[in-house]
Amino acid sequence: MPSIPILEERQAQIHRKGSAPFEMTCGKHSLAGSVSQRACVFCGSRVVLYPIADALHLIHGPIGCAAYTWDIRGALSSGPELHRMSFSTDLREKDVIFGGEKKLAAALDELIDQYQPKAAFVYSTCIVGIIGDDVAAVCRKAEKEKGIPVLPVHSEGFKGTKKDGYKAACDALFKLVGTGSTADITPVSINILGEFNIGGEAWLIKKYYEEMGIPVVSIMTGDGRVDQIRRSHGAALNVVQCSGALTFLADMMQETYGIPYIRASYFGIDDMAKALYDVADHFETHPAIMARTREIVRREVETIMPEINRIRRDLAGKRAAIYVGGAFKAFSLIKALRYLGMTVVLVGSQTGNDSDYATLRDMCDDGTIILDDANPLELSKYIIEKQADLFIGGVKERPIAFKMGIGFCDHNHERKIPLAGFAGMLQFAREVHTSVTSPVWQFVPTRAAVG
């Protein structure tokens, strides 16, 4: 394969550890012509809000913006499943010329009457920002007429990065927080933030906390319910997973309601155990919680270790590439892969900040490629150079892995199995093992040449 050049303006967002003093540019708009792997602002907001299962999610824009349906963002619900419906105002040329407010008002009127949701989120897409529809005014009117919260999400795709979509979603969520009764919430209680219940992960995590003796007031937003979010200001602590998505909300809840927050990751044995111990530590005046936590961690680790040890023997020395949305997940994945005996040769994220990349620099071995806001050509180039055996990413990274003829592990919202928690670590190890050791790769010409 011919050598793949890197665009000059992209050089500052790529670092080879150990080759030069560490300097990474990040947090800026994607370079035109680079075909970024990053999703738009609107996509960032819907990732956060869509798992709220008893709310109406209406995309105000052309039908194409609604393409990311539940089927590829499969957050599970234990009850209502209104979130699986994909509603759009389907704006056409005439609406763009004369405005889409009437169409939006009519859609809200019809959908709220038909589906009786607990709340409605209205997502603004690019064209709505351009034609200047007053979405907030339409929402206010519908809220008054229908008696449910109707929340505008200012997520016009062009106005920033995916991270701005997280912020738009948090702004909308924050309007719900504080509007419900906290009467029966105990002083030992938490909210789980940034957990979207992919493959039932939120249920696993919630079960651990409840076994520890800590009630969960709300999960934002996995298996989410509007009424739980409305009363979430009654919890004693916010436990925030994922570096980007829900931190904005945690900050706002801390400032307004005085609720402290800690960060957590539920991927990998070390980070999963640390998440539980950190929460137990927070409630240190209740020593029984820590005692129960130790027992849970001991039991869970004992259950999964025999099989993990067997898998580790096959994976020792294999090389992995990671490209994920939030860098916080990459930290856990590096640790989990090392636990399986593998080496990480490439790691990157869509939305990492200065501090995230400094952490990655400290965690990675010399020679590891660290990338911000990468494109397919860059990922392909370094996968070939580093002879990776496995690529971990999401729906947009999958075809790159298969074109390169290497194993792939979906660690994004499209997967159907839980990879979080102790049980999830075992699933992760099994999936990595199955993919990396598949005999099919020996028939791929590039891999056969590599040997």
Q: Provide the pairing of β-strand 319-324 with 190-195.
A: unpaired
Q: From its phi and psi, is residue 367 left (phi > 0), alpha (psi between -120 and 50) or beta?
A: left
124-156: buried (b, 16+ CB within 10 Å) or exposed (e) per residue?
bbbbbbeeebebeebbebbbeebebbbbbbbbb
E strand or H helix at 434, and its extent?
A: helix 421-436
Is the Cβ of residue 45 or residue 343 nearer to ligand SF4 in the bound state? Answer: 45
Calculate the alpha carbon distances from 305 to 66, 141, 269, 333 in Å. Answer: 42, 57, 10, 18
Is the Cβ of residue 125 or residue 293 nearer to ligand SF4 in the bound state? Answer: 125
In which residue are the tokens 């979430």 written?
232
Is the Cβ of residue 222 or residue 394 nearer to ligand SF4 in the bound state? Answer: 394
Is the Cβ of residue 163 or residue 206 nearer to ligand SF4 in the bound state? Answer: 163
Q: How far is the CB of 253 from ligand SF4 (least distance, A)?
A: 28
What's the CA gap between 405 and 422, in Å, rounded?
30
Q: How far is the CB of 29 from ligand SF4 (least distance, A)?
A: 12
Q: How far is the CB of 272 from ligand SF4 (least distance, A)?
A: 34
Is the Cβ of residue 61 or residue 222 nearer to ligand SF4 in the bound state? Answer: 61
What's the CA gap between 427 and 200, in Å, rounded?
13
Q: How far is the CB of 39 from ligand SF4 (least distance, A)?
A: 8
3-state class of 116 per DSSP?
coil
Q: How far is the CB of 329 from ligand SF4 (least distance, A)?
A: 23
Q: Which amino acid is residue 77, in one-letter code?
A: S
Q: How far is the CB of 248 from ligand SF4 (least distance, A)?
A: 20
Burial (CB < 10 A; 0-12, 13-18, 19+), residue 317, is exposed
Q: How far is the CB of 61 from ligand SF4 (least distance, A)?
A: 6
Q: How far is the CB of 57 from ligand SF4 (least distance, A)?
A: 14
Interface residues toward ligand SF4, by CB under 6 A: 40, 42, 61, 65, 125-126, 157
Contact 123, 42 (CB under 8 A): yes
Is the Cβ of residue 80 or residue 160 nearer to ligand SF4 in the bound state? Answer: 160
Q: How far is the CB of 73 from ligand SF4 (least distance, A)?
A: 14
Contact 48, 170 (CB under 8 A): yes
Is the Cβ of residue 61 or residue 407 nearer to ligand SF4 in the bound state? Answer: 61
φ and ψ at 322, to 5 degrees?
A: -125, 130
Q: Which amino acid is residue 435, in one-letter code?
A: S
Contact 382, 319 (CB under 8 A): no
Select from 281, 241, 221 the least CA-distant residue to 420: 241
Calculate the alpha carbon distances from 388 to 66, 246, 392 in Å. Answer: 34, 32, 11
Is the Cβ of residue 125 or residue 238 nearer to ligand SF4 in the bound state? Answer: 125
Q: How far is the CB of 107 from ligand SF4 (least distance, A)?
A: 17
State CA 429 to chain mean position distance. 20
Is the Cβ of residue 61 or residue 394 nearer to ligand SF4 in the bound state? Answer: 61
DSSP state of 224: B
Select from 283, 263, 301 the least CA-distant residue to 213: 283
State CA 447 to chain mean position distance. 31
Is the Cβ of residue 160 or residue 376 nearer to ligand SF4 in the bound state? Answer: 160
What tokens does 379 get? 């990922």
Is the Cβ of residue 152 or residue 234 nearer to ligand SF4 in the bound state? Answer: 152
Q: How far is the CB of 213 from ligand SF4 (least distance, A)?
A: 44
Q: Which residue is nearest to ligand SF4 (CB)?
A: 157
